[in-house]
Amino acid sequence: MTTAPTRKHFVGTAHTRVEGRDKVTGAARYASEIPFDRLAHGWLVLSTIARGRITSVEDTPVLAMPGVVAVLHHGNAPRVDTDYTGLLGTAPDPTAALFQHDRVPHAGWPVALVVADTSEQAREAAEALVVHYEQEPHDVDFTAEHPDAYPLDSHLPAVAEKGDLEAELAASAAVVDAEYTTPEEHHNPMEPHAAAARWDGGRLDVVDSNQGTLWVASELANLFSLDPASVRVRSEHVGGGFGSKGLRAHQVAAVMAATVLQRPVRVVMTRRQMFSLAGYRSPTRQHLRLGADADGRLRALEHRCLSLTSTVHEFVEPGADPARTMYDADAHHTANHVVRLDVPTPTWMRAPGEAPGSFALESALDELAEKLGIDPIELRVRNEPALGPVSGLPFSGRNLLACFREGARRFGWADRDPRPGLRRDGRWLLGTGTAAASFPAGAAPSTAAVTAEADGTFTVRINAADIGTGARTALTLVAADALEAAPERVRVRIGDSDFGPAFIAGGSMGTRSWSWAVTVAAEELRERLALGAAVPPEGITVRSDTTEAVGALARKERHSFGAQFAEVAVDVDTGEVRVRRMLGIFAAGRIVNPLTARGQFVGGMTWGISMALHEEAVRDAGTGGHYGADLAGYHVAAHADVPLVEADWIDDPDPDDPVGIKGIGEIGIVGAAAAIANAVRHATGVRHRHLPIRPDRVLMAGRHA
Of the pair 243, 603, the CB lying nearest ligand MOS is at 243
Binding ligand MOS (rule: CB under 6 A), the pick from 52, 108, 241, 356 is 241
Asked if 646 is an active-site residue, the reply is no
Per-residue contact flags (x/-) with ligand MOS for residues 613 to 652, judged by CB under 6 A: ----------------------------------------
Binding ligand MOS (rule: CB under 6 A), the pick from 109, 315, 348, 565 is 348
Closest approach of Cβ 244 to ligand MOS, in Å?
A: 8
Which CA distances in Å does 38 have to 66, 71, 118, 270?
16, 18, 10, 22
The sheet carrying 68-73 orders its strands as 68-73, 110-116, 40-46, 265-268, 194-200, 203-208, 231-234
CA angle 168, 169, 171 (to 5 degrees): 65
Which CA distances in Å does 538 have to 485, 528, 625?
19, 16, 57
- Say how far apart CA 646 and CA 147 lie, in whole Å: 44
Number of residues that bind ligand MOS (CB under 6 A): 10
Stretch that binds ligand MOS, among 15-23, 87-95, 240-248, 675-683 (CB under 6 A): 240-248
Closest approach of Cβ 634 to ligand MOS, in Å?
A: 18
Of the pair 408, 597, the CB lying nearest ligand MOS is at 597
- Say how far apart CA 670 and CA 370 lie, in whole Å: 22
Binding ligand MOS (rule: CB under 6 A), the pick from 104, 349, 502, 617 is 349
Stretch that binds ligand MOS, among 33-41, 42-50, 239-247, 491-499 (CB under 6 A): 239-247
Of the pair 336, 684, the CB lying nearest ligand MOS is at 336
609 and 637 Cβ atoms separated by less than 8 Å: yes
Of the pair 187, 598, the CB lying nearest ligand MOS is at 187
User: What letter would DSSP give residue 285?
Assistant: E
Q: Which amino acid is at 370?
A: E
C-alpha 253, offset from chain centre:
24
Of the pair 119, 358, the CB lying nearest ligand MOS is at 358
Stretch that binds ligand MOS, among 23-31, 120-128, 346-354, 566-574 (CB under 6 A): 346-354
**Residues comprising the chain, all counted:** 705
CA angle 60, 63, 68 (to 5 degrees): 170
Task: Give DSSP secondary structure letters for 551-590.
Answer: HTPPP-B-EEEEEEEEEEEEETTTTEEEEEEEEEEEE-B-
Binding ligand MOS (rule: CB under 6 A), the pick from 52, 94, 470, 506 is 506
Closest approach of Cβ 275 to ligand MOS, in Å?
A: 17
Closest approach of Cβ 356 to ligand MOS, in Å?
A: 12
Closest approach of Cβ 438 to ligand MOS, in Å?
A: 15
Which CA distances in Å does 450 have to 472, 476, 541?
14, 11, 5
- State the Rg of the chain over Cα: 26
Closest approach of Cβ 530 to ligand MOS, in Å?
A: 38
Of the pair 352, 470, the CB lying nearest ligand MOS is at 352
Of the pair 15, 350, the CB lying nearest ligand MOS is at 350
Of the pair 233, 349, the CB lying nearest ligand MOS is at 349
496 forms beta bridges with 234
Closest approach of Cβ 18 to ligand MOS, in Å?
A: 22
Binding ligand MOS (rule: CB under 6 A), the pick from 15, 350, 461, 472 is 350
**Which of the following is catalytic: 367, 567, 615, 666?**
666
State which of positions 243-272 bind ligand MOS (CB under 6 A). Answer: 243
Closest CA to 450 of 531, 374, 518: 518
Binding ligand MOS (rule: CB under 6 A), the pick from 99, 180, 242, 601 is 242
The secondary structure element, H or E, covering residue 602 is helix 594-613
Closest approach of Cβ 257 to ligand MOS, in Å?
A: 27
Stretch that binds ligand MOS, among 344-352, 355-363, 426-434, 593-601 (CB under 6 A): 344-352
Shortest-Cβ-distance residue relative to ligand MOS: 243
Helix-, strand-, coil-residue percentages of the chain, each rounded to 5: 30, 25, 45
**Does residue 352 touch ligand MOS according to CB under 6 A?**
yes
Of the pair 155, 424, the CB lying nearest ligand MOS is at 155
* φ and ψ at residue 399, rounded to 5 degrees: -105, 35
Of the pair 243, 685, the CB lying nearest ligand MOS is at 243
Closest approach of Cβ 308 to ligand MOS, in Å?
A: 17
Which CA distances in Å does 628 have to 248, 455, 617, 619, 631?
22, 56, 8, 9, 8
**Does residue 186 touch ligand MOS according to CB under 6 A?**
no
Q: Which amino acid is at 345?
A: T
18 forms beta bridges with none
**Does residue 140 touch ligand MOS according to CB under 6 A?**
no
State which of positions 27-86 bind ligand MOS (CB under 6 A). Answer: none
Closest CA to 617 of 554, 692, 685: 692
Residues tagged active-site: 666
Write out the residues near ligand MOS by the rule CB under 6 A: 211, 241-243, 348-350, 352, 506-507
